[in-house]
Amino acid sequence: MEKSIKYYKNMIVTREEVTRVGADWEDRLKKTGKAGHTEVVVSVIRKHKDFDEVLLKDDPLFKEAMEATAQVNDILTAAEAARLWGLDSSTVKKACQQGRFTAEEARKSGKNWLVTVEGMRRVYGDKQEPGK
């Protein structure tokens, strides 16, 4: 994923894929081929005349800007997400019901659960490769 920059009202929303690593990253890289786990980091900056304000995730404007700039491909039904990650759809639905996803990562729409790709990566890791 390349760094994504979107503009909403007087805010700049940045999405960027990063790899979180620990002190043992070199050992993990040798053993697993991965230094850490990948996740999407989102930041929202509100522009003012004389300064820039970094919004915190619990700020209602942060959520509004995220929703307004989300790409359709970043949001999946629980069934779509399960298929992409090689899971049973009931596994993803149960995770939604049990609160394993944050409010920004999952919500119910009618009878369906909707989850974000970044939420799936946080909860289940990277997608499974076919045949592995």
Q: Which two tokens stand for residue 17?
A: 């894929």
Overall pTM > 0.75: no
- Distance, in Å, from the CA atom of 36 to the CA atom of 4, rounded to the nearest integer, reads 22
Instruction: Decide if 16 contacts 4 (C-beta within 8 A).
Output: yes
Q: Which two tokens stand for residue 77?
A: 């039904």
Nearest Cα to Cα of residue 46 among 21, 65, 31: 65
Q: Pick the residue with more confidence: 5 or 59?
A: 59
- pLDDT 10s digits, 34-50: 888 777 788 999 999 99
The H-assigned helical ranges of the chain are: 25-32, 60-69, 78-85, 89-97, 117-124
Nearest Cα to Cα of residue 19 among 9, 11, 28, 6: 28
- Distance, in Å, from the CA atom of 101 to the CA atom of 107, rounded to the nearest integer, reads 9
Domains of the chain: 1-70 (no CATH), 73-132 (1.10.10)
- pLDDT 10s digits, 72-97: 668 899 999 999 999 998 999 999 99
